[in-house]
Amino acid sequence: MALDLRSASARSVEQPEEASQRSARLQHRVLTWLPVGERWLSVRVDEPDDRQARGALVIAPSFDREAVVSFRTTRALAARAREAGLLAYTFSWSGDGDSTSATGAAATDPAAAWEQELAAVVAHARRIVGPEAPVHIVGLRLGAAVLARVPRELTGPGQRLYWEPVSGAAFVRNHALIRRTSVPVPTGPGQVELDGAVLDPEQVASVRGLAAPKPAQLGPDDAIRTEPDRRAAMRLVLGAPYFAHVPLSVLTEIVAGLRLGPARPLPAWQPQTVATVRQPGPDGAPIDITETLCEVGPNRLPAIRTQAAAGDPQVAVLFTAMGAEVKAGPGSMWARAARDLATRGVVSLRADRGGIGDDADPDLAPEPRPYVPEAIEDVATAVRELASTGLPVLAVGVCAGAWALMRAAGPGYEAPLTELLGVNTVHWHPDPAVYTDAFYAHYHGQEAADRSAPAPSADEAAEPEEAQESAPALTLGERIARAKDYAFTELAIRYPRLRSALRHDVPLDLADPMLRQVPASLILTLLYGPHDHRIWVGKGGRRSLRRARKRGLPLTVVRDVDVDHSLFAQRAQHATLRLLRERTAALAALAPRRADAEGAGNR
């Protein structure tokens, strides 16, 4: 059963010019898969508007959480390169983002695999712009260490910029420490967990072998760039995506330093929109699945459809991101879950919401706000696309993603959802107008950034090119005032009646109003870790559960000690995948009975 979605191979440069700003932003976007051995890389190519290229720029990203946090920065850098007349490439390494995972020898030696992948992306650019045109490469953080491994003869003429380089050893050390200290869920034995990714001992040894480039090793076309503002530099890649620092002036400066060749017309080329991946099935036997790049709805939101290559699916699943993350999901979990569920008879869609991921506007540094009507409409549109197949639709989202899905199922949108799995939903009021500037200032503003992004540490200064400058110290009074304000704010948010009593202009953020507008026909499961479950209880969750069941809403609340808010922990990801497997299997079993009942009603 094929899903009727437009393929991303429909080249927007060939369509009539449209007046809208969105259309102008999309006309240069080309999404493609790039095969490297048995791996498929998710690649985006931004073409100059006039399709006259003066060379190319390839951006080698960092990895795991750093790649997500710096996503808008790399997109904005590509946009400025495109405006300068360069063909711009951004991509994800294998095992990260929407790219598929490596197998065999490539899986045990990710550093060697990433070296191959960077060379393959550069070779793709070289085939298009020609052997003499400059193909520049910017490596960010761990991407700089990968770039340093790639021989110059494999990349040809062009400049190399190592931006904020970090060694593999420092990268693993720092992110393993962040994972252990910031996520209160134990790590698994015999492996190193980062912020969503997990490495076995062989993989750890491989990544640790990546050396940051040294000034003495640079060629005449090479340069190392470190930012003088160390806190801003750390906010390029650390913290949460919605207050990541996008240094627009720095990006303009980087592009201005790249040499341009003579303009030449780009040859016609066709993106690869379908990747075939071999995935272990429930019994361990390999099953071929397909991943198709497509666009959803009138706003042409980038999406990936995943299903088994053979057989008809029984259930459809929509994955949506957290508040400000990409469609691959927390720790790339949605991408892995989509492939796993495809072997169990599920067709799934993971789609970016407006202004996020591949739909991001590179001229807007702030991340779009998640509690807005546009986010609700985006997920409702994706649900309708899936429902057009006639299959029951289960949707899953974390935090703000779950909020948008619940609103989409209710009045004004009526998205035809059969079931919804909401993970760690902590904000409940259904009215987007309630989420004011004060709300976003607390969660997305400088105060939140200071709480989330770690200050430069001595641990990061293990190598000269990674040296940090200390942030200005707060006085004792400032630290006490900030701690009191933070504690009071958290208390008020956890106990909304207290907040409303103190601030009469702030509506109560209780679970009940949202649950009252969810249709009683929707099967609703809420998965919580211990911290977020306390917030659910503080927002009247237990009373709301009783009321919802009394009016017939099939609501189940699951508390799991292994679930952290952002699903960084491997145990949290496994718990979520288990629940998805259980719920899709239950829906598949119900599907024939639903079809029989509908048939009887039509006779």
Tell me the mean pLDDT in the region 459-487: 49
| pLDDT for 489 beyond 60 | no
Tell me the mean pLDDT in the region 405-422: 97
Q: Which two tokens stand for residue 574?
A: 């496994």
Which residue stretches of 71-109 are H helix? 71-83, 105-108
Contact 319, 329 (CB under 8 A): yes
Q: How far is CA 426 from CA 59, 395, 566, in A?
A: 36, 18, 12
Spatial separation of the C-alpha atoms in residues 14 and 510, rounded to whole Å = 49
Spatial separation of the C-alpha atoms in residues 539 and 369, rounded to whole Å = 22
Could you tell me the sign of the dihedral formed by the alpha carbons of 92, 96, 102, 106, in that order?
positive
| pLDDT for 12 beyond 50 | no
**pLDDT tens figures, 253-265:** 999 999 999 999 9
Enumerate residues 6+ apart whose C-beta is below 8 A from 476. Answer: none
pLDDT recorded at residue 3: 46
Spatial separation of the C-alpha atoms in residues 279 and 568, rounded to whole Å = 23
**H or E element: which one contains 594?**
helix 570-602
The full DSSP string for 482-514 is HHHHHHHHHHHHHSHHHHHHH-TTSPP--HHHH
Report the range of poorest mean pLDDT among 81-95, 220-234, 336-350, 386-400: 220-234
Contact 110, 95 (CB under 8 A): yes
pLDDT recorded at residue 353: 94
Neighbours of 211 (CB within 10 A): 15
Report the range of poorest mean pLDDT among 68-77, 83-92, 263-272, 431-440: 431-440
| pLDDT for 436 beyond 90 | no
DSSP state of 86: -
| pLDDT for 19 beyond 50 | no
pLDDT recorded at residue 459: 38
Tell me the mean pLDDT in the region 38-61: 97
Neighbours of 393 (CB within 10 A): 25
* Percent of the chain predicted with pLDDT > 90: 72
Neighbours of 578 (CB within 10 A): 11
**pLDDT tens figures, 274-310:** 999 999 999 999 999 999 999 999 999 999 999 999 9
Position 593: which residue type? R
* Exposure class string for 88-124: b at 16+ Cβ within 10 A, else e: bbbbbbbbbbbbbbbeeebbbbbbbbbbbbbbbbbbb
The full DSSP string for 539-561 is TTHHHHHHHHHHTT--EEEEE-T
Does 6 or 336 have the greater pLDDT score?
336
Which residues on neighbouring strands pair with residue 302, listed in sequence order? 295
| pLDDT for 18 beyond 90 | no
Q: pLDDT grade, residue 325 (50/70/90)?
A: confident
Given 3-state DSSP classes, what are the helix, strand and coil percentages for the chain, each rounded to the nearest 5? 45, 20, 40
**pLDDT tens figures, 231-251:** 888 888 987 777 788 899 999
Does 15 or 75 have the greater pLDDT score?
75
Q: pLDDT grade, residue 472 (50/70/90)?
A: very low
Contact 345, 289 (CB under 8 A): no
pLDDT recorded at residue 506: 57
Contact 147, 118 (CB under 8 A): yes
Kindly give the pairing relationship between strand 419-423 and strand 523-528: parallel
Tell me the mean pLDDT in the region 319-331: 90
Q: Which two tokens stand for residue 126?
A: 């070289």
| pLDDT for 483 beyond 90 | no
Q: pLDDT grade, residue 449 (50/70/90)?
A: very low
Enumerate residues 6+ apart whose C-beta is below 8 A from 44. Answer: 29, 30, 31, 32, 78, 89, 90, 91, 358
| pLDDT for 160 beyond 80 | yes
Contact 241, 71 (CB under 8 A): yes
Spatial separation of the C-alpha atoms in residues 518 and 411, rounded to whole Å = 8
| pLDDT for 577 beyond 80 | yes
- Identify the residue whose tokens are 């719920």: 583
Neighbours of 244 (CB within 10 A): 24
Spatial separation of the C-alpha atoms in residues 72 and 74, rounded to whole Å = 6
Range 28-238+245-257: architecture per CATH: 3-Layer(aba) Sandwich (3.40)
454 CB burial (10 A radius; 0-12, 13-18, 19+): middle
472 CB burial (10 A radius; 0-12, 13-18, 19+): exposed
Neighbours of 390 (CB within 10 A): 11
| pLDDT for 480 beyond 80 | no
Tell me the mean pLDDT in the region 1-19: 38
| pLDDT for 358 beyond 80 | yes
**pLDDT tens figures, 546-570:** 999 999 999 999 999 999 999 999 9
| pLDDT for 7 beyond 80 | no
Enumerate residues 6+ apart whose C-beta is below 8 A from 154. Answer: 119, 122, 123
Average pLDDT score over the chain: 87
pLDDT recorded at residue 362: 80
Which residues on neighbouring strands pair with residue 301, listed in sequence order? 296
Residue ranges, CATH 3.40.50.1820, the chain: 28-238+245-257, 274-362+371-431+509-560
Q: pLDDT grade, residue 16 (50/70/90)?
A: very low
Range 274-362+371-431+509-560: architecture per CATH: 3-Layer(aba) Sandwich (3.40)
| pLDDT for 50 beyond 70 | yes
Of the candidates 552, 34, 68, the residue with the CA atom closest to the CA atom of residue 352: 68
Tell me the mean pLDDT in the region 54-79: 96
Contact 78, 363 (CB under 8 A): no
pLDDT recorded at residue 477: 67
Q: Which two tokens stand for residue 14?
A: 């060939």
| pLDDT for 268 beyond 60 | yes
Q: pLDDT grade, residue 368 (50/70/90)?
A: confident
